[in-house]
Amino acid sequence: MIKIVIDKEKCIGCGACWVIAPGIFIEDKSMGKTTLSSQYILGERENKVYGEIPRELYDKVSKAEKNCPTYAISIEEQ
């Protein structure tokens, strides 16, 4: 599994990660910012979403991380 953190403070809601990795990153419509699909969320704290993603989705998640213009997505490999 791969640990992932989304910083909602940094997210500007550009939607790039929703297009690159649909079903993993989704819009939190209450804020217009990114969150994780609920099955991947471990917890939320201080505007950060913590999650765990299966290794087979690494390529998509990594592409989303690299294309996020505000560096709001962080991946910690395990």
- For binding to ligand SF4 (CB under 6 A), which residues are involved? 11-17, 25, 34, 68-70, 72-73
Residue 15 beta carbon to ligand SF4: minimum distance, rounded to whole angstroms: 5
**Contacts of the segment 19-24: beta carbons below 8 A, 24+ positions apart:** 20/60, 20/63, 20/64, 20/67, 21/57, 21/60, 21/61, 21/63, 21/64, 24/53, 24/57, 24/60, 24/61, 24/64
Q: Whose Cβ is closer to ligand SF4: residue 8's or residue 52's?
A: 8
Nearer to ligand SF4, 10 or 52 (CB): 10
Nearer to ligand SF4, 52 or 74 (CB): 74
